[in-house]
Copies of this chain bind each other. A is one copy, B any other.
C-alpha cells in the first residue's frame, strides 16, 4: 500500500480531482492541489481535503505521485509546458476518458525519468467543479488501469484505486479501453443527446415515466469535455454509431414487415443479454 508519507499532488481540482483529494484525505494522505479556480482551492482547504493549494505549477515539484484531473487537451498542454518541474522518478496518472490519442501524444515527449501509468476512473456526475466533489461516487464505480510493462508502478496505481474504494479494478490495453468506452459510454451519450434533440419535447415532461428519464439523464452533458472526448475517439465512436444504426434500420424493417417471429427473437435476445448486466 501507498505510505501516508507519499507526497501527492492533484493537478485540476474539478469534480474528480476534488473527489480524489477528499477520498485520500479521509485515509490520512496529505494532498496538494493545483488549480486556477481559487474558489475550488478554498473549498478543498476548508474541508481539509488538501493541505496546500495554488495556481502555481511548481507545487508539483516535490510530488512522488501526480494525479492529472484535466480535460484531455489541457493535460497534454500542461505536461508539455511544465514537465520540467516534475521530480525525477515521479509517478504520474490521470483520469482521462480516452486513451490512445493522449498516450501517443504524451509518450512522444515525456521525460524518461518519470513514469506515467494511465488510468480511468469510470465515475462522474452531471455537474462539474470541486464544490460537487464527493468520494462516495467511487464506491459503485469501475477503475480501469491501462496495461504497462512496469508492474510495480501499475500496482501503485491499483493501490490508489483501492484506497479510494473503487468497486472494481480492471486492467485493459489502450485500444480495448477506447473500444469499450465508445460503446458503453460514448454511444449511449450520443443516443441520449439525439433523443432530446429530435424535437422540442419538453411539453411531454408531464407524461414521461422513469424509463425516459433514465435514458436521457446523460443528455445533460458538459459540452467542452465531451467534444474533446468524442473527437479523440472518433474512429471507434463512428464504428459504434454505424453498428447501432444498422440495428435500428433492421428493427424498422421488422416493424414495417410485421415480422412477429424476428421481433420476438430480438426482444428475447436483448432481455437475455441485459439480464447478464444485473448479475453481481
Q: In the complex, which residue of chain B has the Cβ closest to the Cβ of A172?
A: B207
B198 touches A277 (CB 8 A): no
Question: Would you call A191 an interface residue if the criterion is a C-beta within 8 Å of the partner chain's C-beta atoms?
Answer: yes
Residues of B within 8 A of A114 (CB): none
Interface-facing stretch out of A56-64, A156-164, A259-267: A259-267
Q: How many residues of A contact B (CB 8 A)?
A: 86
A109 to B122, CA, bound (A): 57
**A213, A222, A238 pick with most chain B CB within 10 angstroms:** A213
* Mask: chain A, 72-105; 1 = CB below 8 Å from B; 0 = not: 0000000000000000000000000000000000
Question: Would you call A214 an interface residue if the criterion is a C-beta within 8 Å of the partner chain's C-beta atoms?
Answer: yes
Residues of B within 8 A of A10 (CB): none
B227 touches A207 (CB 8 A): no
* Mask: chain A, 193-230; 1 = CB below 8 Å from B; 0 = not: 11111111110111111111111111111111011001
A238 touches B220 (CB 8 A): no
